[in-house]
Structure 1
Amino acid sequence: MGKVMTTAYAMSGLLVGFLVGLTGVGGGSLMTPLLVFMFGFAPKTAVGTDLLFAAITKGGGVLVHHRSHRSVEWKIVLQLALGSIPAALAVVYLLETVFKKDEAVTAIITTTLGIALIFTGLSLLLRKRLSRKSAIRRLTHTERFGRWQGALTVLVGVILGVLVTLSSVGAGALGTVALLFLYPRLATVRVVGTDLAHAIPLTAVAGLGHLHMGNVDFTLLGSLLLGSLPGIYLGSQLSAKIPEWLLRPALASLLLLIGCKFVL
Structure 2
Amino acid sequence: MLWIILVLVGLIGGTLGSLMGLGGGIVVVPALLMLGSLTLLEITPQVAVGTSLLIMIFTGISATIAYMKQKKVDYKSGLLFFSASGPGAIVGTWLNRGFDASSFQIYLGLFILFVSFILFIRKYLKPLPRSGKGIERTYTDEAGTVFTYGYRIIPVLAIAFVVGMLSGLFGIGGGSLLVPAMIVLFAFPPHLAVATSMFIILLSAVVGSISHIIQGNVDWLYAVALLPGAWFGGTLGAAINRRLSSEKVVFVLRFMLIVMAFRLIYEGWTM
TM range (shorter): 0.7 to 0.9
Residue deviations 1:208-251 (CA, integer Å, cap 9, x gap): 1111111111111111112334455666777769x949855542
Distance 1:181 1:247 in 2: 16
Q: TM-score, normalised by structure 1?
A: 0.74
Residue deviations 1:120-165 (CA, integer Å, cap 9, x gap): 43355456x48xx89xx9xxxxx72423611000001111011111
Q: What residue number does 2:100 align with?
A: 106
Q: What residue number does 1:81 align with?
A: 82
Distance 1:81 1:174 in 2: 14
Gap change, CA 1:88 and 1:20, over 3 Å in 2: closer
Q: What residue number does 1:153 align with?
A: 156
CA RMSD of aligned residues (A): 3.4
Distance 2:199 2:211 in 1: 19
Gap change, CA 1:115 and 1:206, over 3 Å in 2: farther
Q: What residue number does 1:27 align with?
A: 24
Gap change, CA 1:212 and 1:126, over 3 Å in 2: farther
Mapped contact 1:124–1:173 kept (Cα < 8 A): no
Q: CA deviation at 1:69?
A: 3.4
Mapped contact 1:144–1:182 kept (Cα < 8 A): no
Q: CA deviation at 1:263?
A: 6.4
Runs of 5+ consecutive residues of structure 1 not aligned to the other structure: 138-142
Q: What residue number does 2:261 align with?
A: 256
Structure with higher helix content: 1
Q: What residue number does 2:145 align with?
A: none
Mapped contact 2:110–2:261 kept (Cα < 8 A): no
Indicate which of 219, 222, 228 corresponds to 1:220: 222
Secondary structure of the residue aligned to 2:36 is coil
Gap change, CA 1:218 and 1:123, over 3 Å in 2: farther
Gap change, CA 1:262 and 1:26, over 3 Å in 2: farther
Distance 2:131 2:205 in 1: 29
Residue deviations 1:77-111 (CA, integer Å, cap 9, x gap): 2321222112222333456xxx5xxxx34367445
Indicate which of 139, 164, 167 corresponds to 1:164: 167
Secondary structure of the residue aligned to 1:215 is coil
Q: CA deviation at 1:61?
A: 1.8
Gap change, CA 1:35 and 1:123, over 3 Å in 2: farther
Distance 1:89 1:26 in 2: 17
Structure 2 residue identity aligned to 1:158: F
Gap change, CA 1:92 and 1:118, over 3 Å in 2: same
Q: TM-score, normalised by structure 2?
A: 0.73
Distance 1:238 1:89 in 2: 32
Greater Cα offset, 15-24 or 207-216: 15-24
Structure 2 residue identity aligned to 1:151: I
Structure 2 residue identity aligned to 1:118: L
Distance 2:85 2:131 in 1: 22
Structure with higher strand content: 2
Distance 1:176 1:247 in 2: 13
Q: What residue number does 1:90 align with?
A: 91
Q: What residue number does 1:47 align with?
A: 49
Identity %: 22
Indicate which of 188, 191, 203 corresponds to 2:205: 203
Secondary structure of the residue aligned to 2:129 is coil
Q: What residue number does 1:140 align with?
A: none
